[in-house]
Amino acid sequence: MKPFISCLLSVVLLFALKPSSLQAQQKDGAVIAGDFADPSIIKSGNTYYAVGTSSEWAPHFPVYTSTDLKSWKQTGYIFDKAPAWTSGSFWAPEYYKINDTYYIYYTARRKSDNTSFIGVATSKYPDRGFTDHGIIVEFGKEAIDAFIIKDNGQLYITFKAYGLDDRPIEILGSKLSADGLKLEGETFSLLKDESRIGMEGQSIIKKDGYYYLFYSAGNCCGVQCSYNVRVARSKNFKGPYEVYGNNPILTENDNWKCMGHGTFVKINDNKYEYLHHAYNKKSTVFTGRQGLLSELSWPKKGGWPVFKPQVIAGPAVSNINETFTAAKPGKYWQWDFRNSWPVVKQQKGVLHLSGKVKAGNETGIVLTARPVSGSFEMTTTVANHNEALKGLAFYGDANAAIGIGTSGDKVILWQVKDNKYTILAETKAATSSPVQLKLSLNNSTTCSFFYKQGTGEWKPLTSTTPIDINFLPQWDRSPRAGLHFKGNATEEAQFSAFGVVNK
C-alpha cells in the first residue's frame, strides 16, 4: 500500500472558462460555489448581481451575474486595489441603487487603528468602475454589516454595533443623505440582543403593514459555527420590534449548516429569494461559506414568514482544462494582498508568475481560487527550470501552506506551519523537459502528491509520516489552492497548463 498524506482537506477550484474547456458534474445545493460569504443581491433589468465578502483576498469583493438566479458567472470585482483608508477584513458588502448610480456599503478595517467601520463606493455599473468615498459609519469599537432601506421617502442605513463591547449587540440605524454618502441626525436602536446569542447581517422587508427585520444569530464562522436566521417585526421602522417566538426560521438541513447573512430579492408580492451563505456539512470550513438560495413566503396575510425547507440548487460544477491561451488571466484569480504582490502575465499559452513578498513571508506567492468540493485531481505543467520554487500549493495564510514544486533539478514537497518552512520530501528531476505536478484529494480526508515528465506514469512523492493540515483554515475563510512561486526578483515561474477534475 502506498503511503499517503492525511489532509482532512477539501479544495477544488472553480474557474470562469470558455464552455469548450469545461465538463460538468452535479453540485449539491450551492448556486455560487466556494467561499462567498455575506452575499448581497440586486436586480438591474433582467440581470441579477451578487457581491460577497473577500476577507484578506485581493481583488476585493467578487461580483457574479445571473439571469435566472441559479446559473452565475463571475464578471469582476468592486475594487481592484484596496481603498487608501483600509488595511483588510473586507466583509459584508451591500448593494443599493440611487437613480442611475450603484452603491456598495462595505466593512473594512481602518489602517490607522485596525478598527472595522463601514465605507461606501459608487459606480455607474454594478460590477466594475467603483470610486471609493471613504468611511461613512464610524461608531464605537466596531460598526459592520450595513443594510440600506428607504422608508416614506427617507433613506436609512442600519448596522451592527457593540460587538466588541461588554454589552448586548444592537442593530442601530441612522438617516442617510439623499445622495447616500453621509449620515444625518442621531443614531437610534432598532433591536437589542438581550439574550446575547449574537445578532448581525440584518435585512429588512416591509410587507402588509409590518417591517420584518431578519438577522443572523450565533457564531458565524469556523468548525464550531452555530449560525441561523431569525426574524422580528414592528409596525414602525424604528420599532419596537417583536421577536418571533418560533425562531429560528432558517437553520441547518441534511447537507448544509450555519446558514445566514444574506439579502432578499423580490420575485412577486408574496415570494422573495434569499441569497445567503452556509457551510457544506461534508467539506465544512475547507470549502468556506458558500452562496445558497432559499425561498421565503408568507402563508397568510399579516402572518409570520416561512422559508421552504429545501435549498435551491445551482447548476453543475465544472472541471478545468486551462492552457492560458486567452489574452488576459482569468478574473477568478485572487491572492493574499497583505503578504504578497504578484506579477501575472499570460501570453502565447504560458502564465508567467513572479512578484514580491512581505518580509517574513516564508510561503511566497500563491495565485488562488475559491474551493468548491472535497474530491479532485489538480494538475499543472511547470515549463521552465530555475532555482525558484514553483508548482502547486494549498494556502491558508502566509504562515500556513503546503505544496509540491520544482526547484533546479529537484521536485520538492514542502510545508509552512507556524511560519516555519520545511521540506517534507524531495526527488530528482531532469531539467531537459517540463515537469508535471499533481495533487489528489479524496472525500476531504486524504491527499497525495505526484510528479512526472514526458509520457511516463505519475510517481508519488510522499512524506515518511502523515501530515494533518487542519492548521490551514483561517477563522473567517477557507484555504485556497492554486499556482505557487517562491524566488527572487530576477526569476519567475512559467506554467503551460492547469487542470482540475472533480471526482
Beta bridge partners, 103, equal 96, 122
pLDDT of residue 78: 98
Distances, alpha carbon 336 to alpha carbons 71, 186, 366, in Å = 28, 38, 8
Residue type, 337: F
More confidently predicted of 466 and 198: 198
The residue written with cell numbers 499559452 in the block is 349
DSSP 8-state secondary structure symbol assigned to residue 78: E
Q: Could you please state the CATH topology (level 3) that the domain comprising 318-502 is classified under.
A: Jelly Rolls (2.60.120)
What's this model's pTM, rounded to 2 decimal places?
A: 0.93
Sequence-distant (≥ 6) Cβ neighbours of residue 252 within 8 angstroms = 228, 258, 259, 278, 281
Is residue 373 over pLDDT 60? yes
For 80-125, what is each residue's pLDDT tens digit? 999 999 999 999 999 999 999 999 999 999 999 999 999 999 999 9
Q: Is 90 exceeded by the pLDDT of residue 346?
A: yes
pLDDT score of 287 more than 50 = yes
Contact 145, 107 (CB under 8 A): yes
Pairing relationship of beta strands 410-417 and 420-428 according to DSSP bridges: antiparallel
How confident is the model over 23-67, as pLDDT tens digits? 333 345 899 998 999 999 999 999 999 999 999 999 999 999 999
The DSSP 8-state label assigned to residue 240 in this structure reads P
Amino acid code (one letter) for 395? Y
Residue 145 zone, left/alpha/beta (φ > 0; ψ -120 to 50; rest): left
Q: How confident is the model at residue 440 (pLDDT cuts 50, 70, 90)?
A: confident
Q: Which comes out higher in pLDDT, residue 428 or 309?
A: 428
Q: Would you state the pLDDT for residue 25?
A: 35
C-alpha cell at 43: 436586480
String of DSSP letters for 15-57? ----GGG--EE---S-SB-SS--S-EEEEETTEEEEE---BTE
Cβ atoms of residues 320 and 68 within 8 Å: no
pLDDT at 442: 77
CB within 8 Å of 144: residues ≥ 6 apart? 91, 92, 107, 116, 117, 118, 159, 160, 163, 200
Query: Start-end ranges of CATH 2.115.10.20 in the chain?
Result: 27-315
Strands of 289-297's sheet in order across = 256-268, 271-280, 289-297, 306-307
Instruction: Check: CB of residue 73 under 8 Å from CB of residue 332.
Output: no
Does the bond joining 479 to the residue before it have cis omega, within 30 degrees of 0?
A: no
Residue 404 has pLDDT above 60, yes or no: yes
DSSP structure class, residue 99:
T
Question: Where exactly does CATH 2.60.120.200 map onto the chain?
Answer: 318-502
Q: What is the CATH number of domain 27-315?
A: 2.115.10.20
pLDDT of residue 337: 97
Residue 303 is classified by DSSP as S
Say how far apart CA 76 and CA 91 lie, in whole Å.
17
Residue type at position 333: W
pLDDT reported for residue 501? 80
Length of the chain (residues): 503
Q: What are phi and psi of 418, to 5 degrees?
A: 55, 35
Whether residue 117 contacts residue 139, with contact meaning beta carbons closer than 8 Å, is answered with yes
Asked whether the beta carbons of 148 and 96 are under 8 A apart, the reply is yes
Say if residues 152 and 134 touch (Cβ distance below 8 Å). no
Mean pLDDT, the chain, as a whole number?
A: 91
Here the cell at position 39 is 452575499
Residue 381 in this model has a pLDDT that exceeds 60 = yes
Reference 93, options 114, 70, 64; nearest CA is 64
C-alpha Rg value of the chain to the nearest Å:
23
- As a whole number of angstroms, the distance between CA 78 and CA 126 comes to 8
